[in-house]
Structure 1
Amino acid sequence: MYLLQPTLFSFEELLKFEPETRLQKVLSVLDLSPALTVVKKAVVGPKGHCVGNMISALVAKQLEQIPTVAALVKRLSEDLRCGFSLSASVPSESTFSRLIKKLTVTDEKNGTPSVLKEIFDNLVKNARAMGLIGSECIAIDSSKIDAYEKSRPKKDLKGDKTANWGAKRDTHGNQITWFGYKAHIAVDCQSELPIALMVTPANTHDAKLAIPLIELVNQSLADARKPKYYAMDMGYDSKEIYSEVMTKFKGQALIPINPRGSKDHPEGCDFDGTPICSMGQRMVYWGSDTKTGTNKYRCPHVMGKYDCPHGSAWCSQSSYGLVVKTKVEDDPRMNCLPARGTRNWQKLYNKRTAVERCFGRLKQHLGANSLRTRGLEKVTLHITLSCIALLAGSIAVAKLKNIKQVA
């Protein structure tokens, strides 16, 4: 059972405002100085237009779920000013296209538009400074993004910067396929806000993006406490991920065991790492020691979970019964801390639903899945703008609440 986690605020509160008020509050928390320095020499039309106002208009496009740039230009000339003077003309569609081409220059390390990445990172730092973003648990997942272009056979698809075919199972276990992309994000479970994002063709496996996303998370939270837990679904069940999270990032991966790899477990242990006694019964979990990184298990006969015909003396002469301790460092995949299957482990893992709600907001309120553009760079720009709008809107709501509390 998934339980909804209480949040500090709700992004939906922002949607209750009038469109003009909502847009004003979101744009007021944006720092567009990184974009102004990089795109200063961009072609902005014969009459000249403010690049900051144009980027604000692109954020407003996501917030108001305006489908195309042409529709955005029409709204700007009618009621959506975004800082443009009432007496002056608004940028044309071709002017926006030239600016978008400038903004789609990507960062080679993570594929995120470098200009917008800096704006995105600044918003994450501001949210962290305000106490909105915590550092205990991070949820990582991907979501399908349907392509705008016409689907093509796999044999005709070449390169890693175009839409491709993807397949995954939905929440009901049904296999679904789509032609398009994947949005991979890391979300803070406390605020349900994105901290890092990457966009790939739909055929990219989720597990390949786990470590790069965690690296981006640690870069974004460079001045803060590092996350302790990284919650992911069983699609990320890989020995490499467990090992990297523990050794490199000093954290713990919370991932259910994938049934396809459940047979690949150490001798003397069950599919989830629980030790098995000499009679083939699962031993009883009896606490963890965080200092030494060990889990303790006791004899199921002594604990009253199994009536052993040989009694506890079969395995141990002590009345306390046989005790087995497992160390996380010996096998990070099988030995979790807290132990997999315990109430504490499940409580932490349930926080993973924060990433599902984040995707829900991005798609339902910020048009993340309503593509009207082609190519990986432009799709990445589209998703990044949606995440910027979500972060800015959430910060605006938090600031408004603080003002009301002071008043």
Structure 2
Amino acid sequence: MIWVMILKFTTRTHSDYLLFVRDHLKAAYRTPEELQLLQQFFSELIFWVGALDLSKTTSMMSSSYSSKTKGRKPRDPADMLRSHLLMTKLGMGVDDWVRSLRTIPIYAILSGFSPSDVPGVGTFYDFMRRLWSASSPHKTGRIKRRLRKPIKKGKKNEKQQPKNPMITENLVKRVLRSSTIHYSAKPHDTLQLLFKTLFVLPSAERGLLGDTSSFRVIGDGTPVETGARSFGKFLCDCRKSGNWKCTCKRQFSDPDATWGWDSYREKYYFGRTLYMFTAADSPYDLPVYPRLFKASQHDAVSWICGYQEFRYWYPQWKLGEAILDSAHDALPIYTMLEHDDVSAIIDLNNRRSGKLVYNDMEINSDGVPVCPIGREMICWGKCPGRQRVKWRCPAKVGKWSCPHPCSPSDYGRTFYTSTADNPRLFPRIRRDSKDWSKRYALRTGGERCIKRQKIDYDLEASRGRSSRHWSIRVYLIAMCQHADAWLKEAQKHGQLPTIHEWLGAAQAA
């Protein structure tokens, strides 16, 4: 059966693809003027796509194709994926891209197609369906009752609170009950497998993701608006009687979209939340696991769910640090990370902390004990062999007279804070230290990664209306982000030849 599947595709190695591109470019662009045109306008695109070894795509997607020998042979999945990436890179839709393939020979050649044999629009949409493991582009039924837009607005830069305040604690308890990671199949599994195998792991081998034996990850979410309306299509006749606010079920073009709060723009939006796991030590802010959740879902919940999936997809990586913003400041998250021996770099959310007290001692927002007269105690180092920090009386260390001494000892009062007792107040790296500030500053890498998705590649320009569309678009852009980094690395080290030299290599071979 597997042998039949392999024969059904017209497959080739990456070196064969490069020879195909060189031969067809030399045949299509012969004169010095045409070669100069290639060098001036298309050299970066040629080397960009030439670095993508997609030859494993066929074997990874073989289950998405029929094993029957009758009928027309399908296009090579590697060529189809490569063409989709070029389309995403150039910011085109399917219709415009197919038109460009038929009128601009270099686009067809770089995709792996002969300029005289280009796939049609239907072939591209058919390939998208094969990238999605579910039979429907939606996760829920299209007919349902309309979701009401929330009336109460949130505050500036304040995330929408979850409806169930105990959800983070309950989710973490469920996670910690099991010693193994339970993962149920997701419709985007094929996309993630391609992304991991063809892009993330090669970037890790190139050293573009940092040390995977002590991997530092950034987690952050961003709103993604859908192109569908929130009103839906009426299926009843209530409007004829003047009732425009009926509660009857309606038909929605994007039934998976929900209402969420955009804290940056201070408005509600209808769509999804894109939660991005980014490599903190990547010089190019590369994504490692993009995930789409409901717009109404809190970032803390998205982290817990996505974190378990991330660990499933990269079991060979050892997580060292998790760098998160104050929306993730929940004790269950610290507990889960400590259980996995992961250092938590999370900003404290003062709005919901109130007055912090630990063993009858007041604690400030940096996790530093404050003595009865309101002076911060002095850190006197870590206790060897345990996650415990020693603090001393500021008066005894500074050699000044305290008006209300709290200890008769000449050494002064000592106080200990332990990560094991409260990892939220006393993380492994103190919040008042320069080391913590330096590590937390890496969180902006996640924002830059999301900026690449939403602004540089204009994620929301397509105005999609299904979970399948948005998942494919997010993953294609993430793949392009890795390919962009590879090209920049080659340019940085002067590894790119001229077009004349590159085409001459084929003749020499």
What TM-score does the superposition give when structure 2 sets the normalisation length? 0.67
- Give unmatched runs, 5+ long, in structure 1: 1-15
* Aligned ranges 1:71-220 → 2 under 5 Å: 71-79=96-104, 80-81=107-108, 82-88=111-117, 90-105=118-133, 109=184, 111=186, 113-122=188-197, 123-134=199-210, 135-152=214-231, 162-170=256-264, 175-191=266-282, 192-220=285-313
In structure 2, distance between residues paired with 1:140 and 1:112: 22
Note the alpha carbon deviations across 1:173-195, whole angstroms, 9 max, x for none: x6232221111011111111111
- Assess if the C-alpha contact under 8 Å between 2:280 and 2:445 holds in 1: yes
* Corresponding residue number in structure 2 for 1:308: 402
Give, in angstroms, the shift of residue 37 of structure 1. Answer: 1.5
**Please, which moves more after superposition, 94-103 or 227-236?**
94-103
Note the alpha carbon deviations across 1:363-388, whole angstroms, 9 max, x for none: 23333232342112221111011111
1:383 matched to 2:470? The reply is no
Per the alignment, in what secondary structure is the counterpart of residue 179 of structure 1?
strand
* Corresponding residue number in structure 2 for 1:54: 80
In structure 2, distance between residues paired with 1:167 and 1:55: 34
- Assess if the C-alpha contact under 8 Å between 2:57 and 2:77 holds in 1: no
Give, in angstroms, the shift of residue 39 of structure 1. Answer: 2.8
Give, in angstroms, the shift of residue 111 of structure 1. Answer: 4.3
- Assess if the C-alpha contact under 8 Å between 2:278 and 2:449 holds in 1: yes
In structure 2, distance between residues paired with 1:364 and 1:305: 56
- Assess if the C-alpha contact under 8 Å between 2:273 and 2:294 holds in 1: yes
One-letter identity of the residue aligned with 2:89: L
Note the alpha carbon deviations across 1:195-243, whole angstroms, 9 max, x for none: 112101211111111123323443444334x222111111111111110
Aligned to 1:279, which of 352, 368, 373? Answer: 373
* Aligned ranges 1:327-366 → 2 under 5 Å: 327-366=418-457
In structure 1, distance between residues paired with 2:187 and 2:355: 36
Note the aligned Cα RMSD (angstroms). 3.3
- Assess if the C-alpha contact under 8 Å between 2:355 and 2:362 holds in 1: no
Per the alignment, in what secondary structure is the counterpart of residue 50 of structure 2?
helix
Per the alignment, in what secondary structure is the counterpart of residue 151 of structure 1?
coil
* Corresponding residue number in structure 1 for 2:8: none
One-letter identity of the residue aligned with 2:486: I
Per the alignment, in what secondary structure is the counterpart of residue 228 of structure 1?
strand
- Greater RCO, 1 or 2 (C-alpha within 8 Å, sep 6+): 1
Note the alpha carbon deviations across 1:22-47, whole angstroms, 9 max, x for none: 5423534674234442333399x967
1:368 matched to 2:459? The reply is yes
In structure 2, distance between residues paired with 1:382 and 1:335: 40
* Corresponding residue number in structure 2 for 1:395: 486
Give, in angstroms, the shift of residue 259 of structure 1. Answer: 2.3
**Please, which moves more after superposition, 271-280 or 185-194?**
271-280
In structure 2, distance between residues paired with 1:201 and 1:346: 32
One-letter identity of the residue aligned with 1:113: H
In structure 2, distance between residues paired with 1:349 and 1:149: 37
In structure 2, distance between residues paired with 1:266 and 1:157: 52
Q: Percentage identity across aligned positions? A: 24
* Corresponding residue number in structure 1 for 2:392: 298
Residues 335 and 274 of structure 1, relative CA distance in 2, 3 Å threshold: same
Residues 213 and 403 of structure 1, relative CA distance in 2, 3 Å threshold: farther
One-letter identity of the residue aligned with 1:284: I
In structure 1, distance between residues paired with 2:67 and 2:224: 30
In structure 2, distance between residues paired with 1:42 and 1:392: 32
Per the alignment, in what secondary structure is the counterpart of residue 309 of structure 1?
coil
- Give unmatched runs, 5+ long, in structure 2: 1-40, 140-182, 233-244, 497-509
Aligned to 1:227, which of 302, 309, 319? Answer: 319
One-letter identity of the residue aligned with 1:60: L
One-letter identity of the residue aligned with 2:476: L
- Assess if the C-alpha contact under 8 Å between 1:139 and 1:186 holds in 2: yes
- Assess if the C-alpha contact under 8 Å between 1:140 and 1:185 holds in 2: yes
One-letter identity of the residue aligned with 1:261: R
1:27 matched to 2:27? The reply is no
One-letter identity of the residue aligned with 1:54: M
- Assess if the C-alpha contact under 8 Å between 2:380 and 2:389 holds in 1: yes
In structure 2, distance between residues paired with 1:262 and 1:125: 40
Note the alpha carbon deviations across 1:79-102, whole angstroms, 9 max, x for none: 2211111121x2222222222122
One-letter identity of the residue aligned with 2:322: Y
* Aligned ranges 1:247-258 → 2 under 5 Å: 247=339, 249-258=340-349
Per the alignment, in what secondary structure is the counterpart of residue 306 of structure 2?
helix
One-letter identity of the residue aligned with 2:116: S
Residues 317 and 206 of structure 1, relative CA distance in 2, 3 Å threshold: same
Per the alignment, in what secondary structure is the counterpart of residue 329 of structure 1?
coil
Residues 239 and 161 of structure 1, relative CA distance in 2, 3 Å threshold: farther
* Corresponding residue number in structure 2 for 1:5: none
Note the alpha carbon deviations across 1:51-78, whole angstroms, 9 max, x for none: 3211211112221111x21122112222
In structure 2, distance between residues paired with 1:211 and 1:56: 33
Give, in angstroms, the shift of residue 347 of structure 1. Answer: 0.9
- Assess if the C-alpha contact under 8 Å between 1:237 and 1:258 holds in 2: yes
Residues 357 and 223 of structure 1, relative CA distance in 2, 3 Å threshold: same
Per the alignment, in what secondary structure is the counterpart of residue 266 of structure 1?
strand
Give, in angstroms, the shift of residue 285 of structure 1. Answer: 2.9
Structure of higher CA gyration radius: 2
- Assess if the C-alpha contact under 8 Å between 2:277 and 2:288 holds in 1: yes
Per the alignment, in what secondary structure is the counterpart of residue 290 of structure 2?
strand
